[in-house]
A and B are shown apart, each in its own frame.
Chain A
C-alpha cells in the first residue's frame, strides 16, 4: 500500500479532473431541470469545439480566438439542437429525449472521425498558457491549469446556484423543473427560458471541452465518452441538486485518481463513476422504499 505522501499528487490531479466533471455535471443538471433532457451530446459538442479550436490555432489564429470559437460552436450547436428538436420532444419520455441527443452525439462523432482523421497515427494537443507555470504544495507540483479546472468548477456551481436563486430567469427555470405546463399558464415564456438553458449548457460544454482537451487529451473518442463521469455525478445527485452534483463529481475525480498507485486496483479505477453511481442509486432507492413503508404504516 502506498504511503500518504505517495497519494498526495493524485489528490491534486483528482481535484482538477473532478472540478471539470462538476462543471459538466452542473450544466447537464440545469438543462435537465429546465427541459427534461439529459444531454448526452455534451462531450461530443465540447470535443468538436476543441478540435475546431485546435485547427484554428494551428492555422495561425491567436489562441484566445480559438478558445472563443470552441465555446461559441458548442453554444450554437446546442442551442440549435434545442430549438429544432426541443419542442417536438418536449412531451416525450425522458429516455426518448436522452436517446435523441445520442443521435446528435453519433453525428458529431462521425464528423470528427471524418474531419480529424487518425489513420496516419496523428496526435493533437491543445495547450493553455496556464500549463507552463505552477507552484509546489509540499512535494507536490501543481500547475495553474489544474487550479483552473477546480476553480471553474467551483465558480460555475456557485454562480449557477446564485443565478437560479436570485434572477428572474433562474426562478423561471426552477419553476419549469416543477411543472412545465403550469409555468407556461402563469405567463412564463417557456421557449425563451428553454433556449437560455440550452445555450448555457452548450457554453459550459465548450468550456469543459477546452479544459478537458488540455487536462486529458484532444481526442474525439476520449472527450465524447468522458461525459460518463459527469453523468454519473449528475445521477448520484438524481439530476436535481447542483451542489450534490459538484460534490459527487469531486468525489468521482479524487477516488478515481487515488486508486492509481494502488497496484491491485489500478486497472479497475475506470469503474469508479459506475460503482459510485450504482451504490448511490441503491442507497437512495432503499431509503425511498423504507420511507414509503413507514408512510403506509
Chain B
C-alpha cells in the first residue's frame, strides 16, 4: 500500500483525508475511531483498509480502529484510550460533532493524556449534508485548540504536529477541515512512520471524575491551558505572513482553503499585498495579529461561512485602539453562505482594488439541460420497499425520513420523505406527528442509522403507545458513505469477524409488539406486511431486509455468479407505464417512438420491474458483461 511508504522524503499523491491518516501514522497513532460521514469518511476508511490489509496477512496492524456506533461513542472510546496514555484520533463530519458534543464539552475540562486529534469535516455548500454549520465555533465554545489546513500536505503535517501540541497542552485538538480539503488530492512528502506505544496504563485520578467540585476546579485550569496555547500559536509555523508583489498598506487575513484562492487571485490581479495565513486559528496568535493590524491601513478578512476571524480581529483592533478598516462579511464584500471559489474571491478583490478581473465572463448555454440529481441506484431494494408502502398506505400518510441513501425517496414518483432533521429523527418526529395529527405515519431509517440514533425514539414510541409505523431499511451496510460495516454486520472495521446484532432482536427488546420482517423484493408480501402494520394500533416496526445491490452484485462477481440484464418484450408491452412511471427505475427509458426500454448500461438485474409488470412483458435478456 502506497500510504504505508516507509521511506522519508517520498512524494505520494493523497486525498486530504488520506493525508490525515498518514499524518497520524507518522505520529504513531494507537487508536482511531469514527462514525462515517461525508466528507470525513475516507480518513477512517483508510485506517480500515490498512488494518484489513494487515489482518489478511495475519500481521498486527499496530493500531486499533473501529467504526463506532455513533460519534459520541467514538469520542468516548478514544478519550479513554488517551487517558491511558495512547495517541488517538476521532474523525467525523461536522454534524457528527453535535452528537459527540456532550462528551466534547466536558472532555475539555478533563483534558487528555496521550495526544488526541478530533477531526471535524465541515461541508460549506452542503454537498452531502443537512446544514453548513461552522464548527470553528466548537473550538471557541469548548476551548479546544484548533488547526485549519489549506492543502493535503498541511493536513498531514498538522495532524502529525497536532499530537505534540495536544500532549503539551493536555488538551484534545480540533483539526477543522472542509469538503474541498477532504476531497482534494495532492502530493504529500513522507516522513518516517512512527511505532505506536501499543498498550497504555490507566492511572486513577480523582480529577477525571467531573463532579461539580471537580468541574469548578478544572475550568480555571482549562483557561490557563488556553493561555499557554496562545503562546504555541504565536510561535507556530502554521501562522505566517506571505507577501505578494510589494508590501503595502493592505493586508489579507485568511485560513483554510480560502488561502489557496487568495494567493492565486493576488498573483492574477498583480496586487501588492501581505497575506496573514492562519493555520492555528484557535487561540489566535494575539501578538502576531496585533502587529499585523498595526502594520496595515486596510485589512480584508477572507474566510468561508461565519465571520469568526473577522469578529476576533475587530475585537483586537478595538482593544489596541487601531483605526484599521476591516473589509469582510459585515461590509457586504463576502458572504456567510456556501463554499468560496476562485471566481468569487478574484471578483471581490478586483472590485476592492479597482483592477480588471482577468477571467472572462462564463459561457452560458441556452439549451435547457435536464437536471441530473442523484437517485436510488437501479436495483436498490429501497425502491421496492417504497413501491410496496405506496400501495399499502393511504394518500394522506406522512413519511418522516432520515440520513442515508433512502432520503432520495423524496424524488417523484415516490415522494416518501416529508420531514428530516438529523440522524434518527425519523422516529422522533413520527411520535410528534402521531400526537399532533390523525394522519397515518410511516417513517424510514437505515440499519446503520437505527443503531446510531434510532433506538431511543422507538423506545419513546413504545412507552407512550404512539400510533406509528417505523421502517428499518436493513441493507446490511452504511451505503451512502461508502459501505462501511456497522453493528448489524458480521465483520468489523479491522476486517475481523464481529458479533452481528440483529435489528429485529433490538426492536423486540424495545418492547415493540408488532414486528414485520420482509424481503422487499417480494413486493406483494411486503405490501401486505405494511397493510398489517398500518392497521395495528400502536407502535409497529417493519424491518425490510435486502442487501445493497452494489454489494450484492460485487459479491456475485467475486463468486463468479452472473448478473442478469432484463429486457422488455415490445410485443407484450401494453405501455401501461407501471414500470417506468410508478416503479421508476432509472434504467428504464422512453425510446424515440414512445416504447419503453431498459438501458443495459444501468440495469443491475434485480428483476423487480418484471415483478411489477402486469403483462409479464419483462424478462432476462442476457448476463451482464
Bind each other: no
Residues of A at the B interface (CB closer than 8 Å) are: none
